[in-house]
Amino acid sequence: MLVKTKAIVISSIKYQEKSLIVKCFTQSEGLKSYFVRDAFSSRKSNQKIAYFQPLTILEIEAIHKNKGTLENFREIKIATPFQSIYSDIYKSTIVLFISEILHHSIHDEEKNEALFTFLETALIWLDTHNETANFYLILLLEITKYFGFYPDISKLENTFFEMKEGVFSSFQALNSLSEHESSLLKKLIELRFDSDKKTFHSIERQIILKILIEYYSFHLEGFKKPKSLEVLREVFS
């Protein structure tokens, strides 16, 4: 089946000497993996590889056999050329980290167009703005809406956040955050990408990041801590 769709690159792995296996989150088909033969063998190899940097937004034409095997591209072009993401150390660290999060979070081949649109919009925002300190925290929290475990905020006035149930409670249970941690999460819930407040200092950001990674682990089976987590902590310390 010939498919034309936008796709966000989640990961690319070198296969043998010259080829790549590329995992993409497509707008129309969900998660798909592609075989790119001879990606490293031609004079245009650098140009080819540039298509497959983490979270690049592509416009693709592909043959989908839908047999659970690797698919093949027929045509690829960059849908949204980023101006700053891959040249800015903060932004490039964020996209590497988020691509790993998505790699460990998206497993279904079923499409999730709402998540795709959100990610596309968020990446374009990141590319065109310089306030990045809270971006990855807001993004991690917002993504949980599309995975079905966004915190229940109907009782936000309660003191403690219970991680397993995803609710705010008036008493501290076994899997509850401390009062301080819960208050930091409440602050994050109120933030938007364009909030210009320097809401958190470095140590608070580290605490929230730890909370969010643990929260994902509670709710996504087989979720692994990203290898780029330490790099992110270092860059934003």
Average pLDDT, the chain: 91
How many domains is the chain built from?
2
Top pLDDT among 43 and 230 is at: 230
Task: Using the 3D structure, point to which of 81, 114, 138 is the last residue of a domain.
Answer: 81
Q: Are residues 199 and 125 in the same domain?
A: yes
pLDDT, residue 68, reads 75
Task: Using the 3D structure, point to which of 57, 81, 105 is the last residue of a domain.
Answer: 81
pLDDT, residue 43, reads 59
pLDDT cut 70: percent of the chain above it: 96
What average pLDDT does range 4-17 have in this prediction?
A: 92
Confidence check: pLDDT of 21 > 60: yes
Q: Are residues 73 and 122 in the same domain?
A: no
Range(s) of the domain holding residue 125: 83-237
Q: 235 is written with which tokens?
A: 């860059």
CA angle 84, 119, 180 (to 5 degrees): 95
Q: Are residues 76 and 91 in the same domain?
A: no
Task: Using the 3D structure, point to which of 42, 66, 81 is the last residue of a domain.
Answer: 81
Q: Are residues 105 and 12 in the same domain?
A: no
pLDDT, residue 27, reads 95
Q: Are residues 65 and 153 in the same domain?
A: no
Q: Are residues 76 and 92 in the same domain?
A: no
Q: Are residues 29 and 58 in the same domain?
A: yes
Q: Are residues 162 and 126 in the same domain?
A: yes
CATH of the domain at 75: 2.40.50.140
Please report, for residues 152, 221, 234, the alpha-carbon distance to residue 128 in angstroms, rounded to integers and kept in the order given. 31, 34, 23
Q: Are residues 168 and 218 in the same domain?
A: yes
Q: Are residues 53 and 135 in the same domain?
A: no
Q: Are residues 39 and 103 in the same domain?
A: no
Q: Are residues 231 and 171 in the same domain?
A: yes
Q: For 156-209, what is each residue's pLDDT tens digit?
A: 999 999 999 999 999 999 999 999 999 999 999 999 888 766 678 899 999 999
- The DSSP code sequence of 89-149 is HHHHHHHHHHHHHHHHH----S--HHHHHHHHHHHHHHHH----TTHHHHHHHHHHHHHT-
